[in-house]
Structure 1
Amino acid sequence: MSEGLLHLQDFFDSGGWVLWAILCATVLLWTLMLERLWFLARVFPNEARDLRSNWLARTERGSLAARHIRTAWLSQAQLRLNRSVPMVRVLIALCPLLGLLGTVTGMIQVFDVMSLSGNGNPRAMASGVSRATVPTMAGMVIAISGLFCLARLDQQSRRAFQRLTDKLRHD
């Protein structure tokens, strides 16, 4: 087990501090995504059931006031469904940019090595090249996987909201 941790430490060291920043963004991104998936699967169905029972408990559901109440309830439900989604979108967009920052810092390291040791020392430049490519790859992998999960999250949110809208019909 300690050998696996050693390899993981080597991987993060090969990407430099930018890879650690990508890791922090990734942890935050997937924490928010898992929270949203948990909310959609476990919490929102109960809230939708409560809203429906409150709506059906009303004696009149066709007046203008009732329609405004329905609209307000649906707006609140939609806000709860989409909470944290803008932050998820920002984190998905941030990961490739952090990868690009890793590319720039790695190339700066390569040019520093070239200026100190001349232009023919591939071993000295290898760590800079690694520092340039690893964060780029990591940022892109995180962003692509986040986009797939976000698409699924958006789809589930829209479906849940549409089901709630259908259940809160006015007379």
Structure 2
Amino acid sequence: MLVLVETWESIRDFVATGGDVLFVVAMALFLMWVLMIERYWFLLVEFPRMHKGIVAKWDARQDTTSWYAHRIREAWVSEASEKLDERMLIIKTLVAMCPLIGLLGTVTGMISVFETMATQGTGNPRLMASGISMATIPTMAGMVAALSGVFFSTRLEARAKMAKEKLIDSLPHH
């Protein structure tokens, strides 16, 4: 229990030092991870069922060589591909937004430093330190959030591409 309290206090201090922009970074990060986890769930649980159903429908067809059969096959592959690519654009957008949100924190922190300099002068570096923290911590948080998103979204995209290729290979056309 003591570990949880200490962890909570350190997170609270980190957010207080970094400013309100960290809440926006955290929201973007949370949404990005919820979407990525949902996509992994789809790839590991839902898509295999969908794959089996499409293959079963294709195998049940007597005609797999005509022009119409090829169009049906293409339509099924296209539908599956659409399902595999769902929400990937939103995930990529969130990944791209995280560093930009961090830069917003940089700007607001620097504005705080300049306000301090305007009212107190440049003689007290301690007063400027909080603004500098507000400028650097959100940038770092945005970059870390984006890095985690880039790594996992790239892996997610590769897995979706492999799943689509396996589906295409499972539907022979003669």
The structure 2 residue matched to 1:149, chosen from 149, 152, 156, is 152
Shift of 1:3: 2.5
Matching of residue 82 in structure 1 with residue 81 in structure 2: no
Matching of residue 93 in structure 1 with residue 96 in structure 2: yes
The whole-number CA distance in structure 2 between the counterparts of 1:150 and 1:3 is 32
Matching of residue 139 in structure 1 with residue 142 in structure 2: yes
Secondary structure of the residue aligned to 2:101 is helix
The whole-number CA distance in structure 1 between the counterparts of 2:27 and 2:137 is 16
The letter for the 2-side match of 1:17 is D
The whole-number CA distance in structure 2 between the counterparts of 1:84 and 1:14 is 33
The whole-number CA distance in structure 2 between the counterparts of 1:41 and 1:64 is 33
Q: Residue 68 of structure 1 aligns with which residue? A: 71
Shift of 1:97: 0.2
The letter for the 2-side match of 1:26 is L
Matching of residue 13 in structure 1 with residue 16 in structure 2: yes
Q: Residue 38 of structure 1 aligns with which residue? A: 41
The letter for the 2-side match of 1:138 is A
Shift of 1:33: 0.6
The whole-number CA distance in structure 2 between the counterparts of 1:145 and 1:7 is 21
- Which residues of structure 1 form unaligned runs of 5+? none
Secondary structure of the residue aligned to 1:42 is helix
The whole-number CA distance in structure 2 between the counterparts of 1:96 and 1:134 is 11
Shift of 1:107: 0.2
- Which residues of structure 2 form unaligned runs of 5+? none
The whole-number CA distance in structure 2 between the counterparts of 1:56 and 1:76 is 18
Instruction: Give the percent of matched residue pairs that are identical in Structure 1 and Structure 2.
Output: 46
Q: CA RMSD in A?
A: 0.7
Q: Residue 168 of structure 1 aligns with which residue? A: 171
Secondary structure of the residue aligned to 2:151 is helix
Secondary structure of the residue aligned to 1:109 is helix
TM-score normalised by the chain length of structure 1: 0.98
Query: Deviation above 4 Å: which 4+ runs of structure 1?
Result: none
TM-score normalised by the chain length of structure 2: 0.96
Q: Residue 53 of structure 1 aligns with which residue? A: 56
The whole-number CA distance in structure 2 between the counterparts of 1:5 and 1:141 is 20
The structure 2 residue matched to 1:113, chosen from 116, 122, 137, is 116
Shift of 1:6: 1.5
The letter for the 2-side match of 1:119 is T
The whole-number CA distance in structure 2 between the counterparts of 1:4 and 1:163 is 45
The whole-number CA distance in structure 1 between the counterparts of 2:134 and 2:73 is 55
How many residues align? The count is 171
